Amino acid sequence: MSKQHKSLALIDLNADAPCCPPLAQSQVPAETAAVLAPAFKALGDPVRLRLMSMIASAEDGEACVCDLTPAFNLSGPTISHHLKTLREAGLVDAERRGTWVYYRARPQILRQLAALLSIEPVAAATA
Amino acid sequence: MSKQHKSLALIDLNADAPCCPPLAQSQVPAETAAVLAPAFKALGDPVRLRLMSMIASAEDGEACVCDLTPAFNLSGPTISHHLKTLREAGLVDAERRGTWVYYRARPQILRQLAALLSIEPVAAATA
DNA sequence: GCCCTGTCTCGACGTCCGTCGAATCAGAGA
DNA sequence: TCTCTGATTCGACGGACGTCGAGACAGGGC
C-alpha cells in the first residue's frame, strides 16, 4: 500500500498526551494550525457547542440523537449535519445500536485543545 | 430589526475567573454558547490561530502588525481583516503607537475557553 | 412481507467568510 | 505643507456554511 499521504496526520488527535505546547508559549506551526483549527471551527457554532456539551456531560458518557434533537428548534437533518461536523472534526464518535444512534465525546482531543489554550502561571522551564 | 447588537454581554469575557464550568461537567446554556462560540470560531481559521499564537507568545507580550504580516503569504488587508476578527472576538487588544499598531493577547478569555474545554479529574468544589 | 420510526443523505437556497486591489486614514519627517 | 510608510476600510468575487424539505436507508414489530 502506498503512503496514504493523509497529509495532515502528523498530529495524532487521539493521543493521550497534549500534542503541542500552549499557544502562548511557542508559536503554533502552520501544519499544527491546519490540523487544530477545524476542531475550533467545529466548536465555533452555538448549536454545535451545546451539542458537544450535551454529549460530553451526558450521564453515561453518551447521548442519543433522539434526546439531542428536541433540545433545539431545528430540523432533524440540520442536527444530523451538525453532528456530522463534530464527527469529522474528531470531537465525537457515533455508534448505532438498533434503531438509535449514540454519540460519545473524545476526551483526548478536548484535552489537547484545552492544553493549547492554557495560560499557566508558567512554572516555566526557564531553561 | 438588527437588534443583534452586543446584547449578549451577560458573560464577562474579561473576568479573571472562569465564567462557567467545564463543558463536560454541565450543559452549556444557549446564552453562554452564543457568547463563547464566536471566540472558538475566531480560532477556527489556521491563519488566525497562528496570529493568535504569535501575539500571545511574543517577547514583550505584544506584536507589531509589521512583524505579523510578512509571516504569511497573504495581503496586508487580509491580515488586517483577520486581526479585526480576533479583536471583535475579544481575543486581542490593539494599540497604536506612532506609526505602528501593536496587538496584545487577552489572557482572561483564553483561560475561560481553556477552562470550558478542560476535562479535569475534577478537583472540583468537592468541598 | 409490510409498515413505522429514527437517522442520514441529497439538492437547493440565502447568507457569511476569506481573499484581493484600490482607496483612505494616521503619523513621522523633511 | 507635502510626501512617504504603515495600517485599515471599502467593494467585489468565489467558495463555504447553516438551514430546510424530500427522499433514502436501517431496524424493529406486526
Q: Which residues contact A85 (CB under 8 A, 6 or more apart)?
A: A42, A45, A48
- The confidence score (pLDDT) of residue B93 equals 97
Chain B residues near residue A57 by CB distance under 8 angstroms: 23-27
3-state SS, one letter per residue, for chain A: CCCCCCCCCCCCCCCCCCCCCCCCCCCCCHHHHHHHHHHHHHCCCHHHHHHHHHHHCCCCCEEEHHHHHHHCCCCHHHHHHHHHHHHHCCCEEEEEECCEEEEEECHHHHHHHHHHHCCCCCCCCCC
A76 within some domain:
yes
- The confidence score (pLDDT) of residue A20 equals 78
Is residue B65 classed exposed, middle or buried when 0-12, 13-18 and 19+ CB atoms within 10 A define those classes?
middle
Mean pLDDT across chain A, nearest whole number? 86
Residue A114 has φ and ψ, to the nearest 5°, of -60, -40
A22 within some domain:
no
A63 within some domain:
yes
The per-residue pLDDT for range B55-79, each reduced to its tens digit, is 999 999 999 999 999 999 999 999 9
Nearest nucleotide (CA of B44 to C1'): C17
Kindly tell me if the per-residue pLDDT of A16 is higher than 90. no
How many other β-carbons are positioned within 10 Å of the β-carbon of residue A84? 12
Nearest nucleotide (CA of A46 to C1'): D18
Dist CA B66 CA A25 (whole Å): 21
Which nucleotides on chain D have any atom < 7 A from a protein Cβ?
A: 5-11, 17-23, 26-28
A12 within some domain:
no
Beta partners for residue B64, in sequence order? B102
Kindly tell me if the per-residue pLDDT of B126 is higher than 70. no
Closest Cβ opposite residue B37 in set A34, A49, A110: A49
Q: Which residue is nearest to nucleotide C18 (CA to C1')?
A: B78
Window 85-124 of chain B: CB closer than 7 A to strand C: 85, 96, 98-99
A123 within some domain:
no
Half-sphere exposure of residue B25: CA atoms within 13 angstroms, side-chain side: 14
Count chain A–chain B contacts defined by CB atoms under 8 A.
123
Q: How many domains does chain A have?
A: 1
Nearest nucleotide (CA of A85 to C1'): D17
Residue A76 maps to which CATH number? 1.10.10.10
Is residue A18 classed exposed, middle or buried when 0-12, 13-18 and 19+ CB atoms within 10 A define those classes?
middle
Dihedral (Cα; B11, B17, B19, B20), 10-degree rounding? -170
The reply to whether residue A33 touches residue B53, judged by beta carbons under 8 angstroms, is yes
Separation of B93 CA and D6 C1' (Å): 18
Confidence of residue A6 (pLDDT cuts 50, 70, 90): very low
Kindly tell me if the per-residue pLDDT of A68 is higher than 60. yes
A126 within some domain:
no
Closest Cβ opposite residue A52 in set B23, B25, B105: B23
Q: Domain range spanning residue B59?
A: 30-117
The per-residue pLDDT for range A35-55, each reduced to its tens digit, is 999 999 999 999 999 999 999
- The confidence score (pLDDT) of residue B43 equals 98
Instruction: Please choose, from the candidates A110, A49, A90, the residue with its C-alpha nearest in 3D space to the C-alpha of residue B118.
Output: A110
B15 within some domain:
no
A68 within some domain:
yes
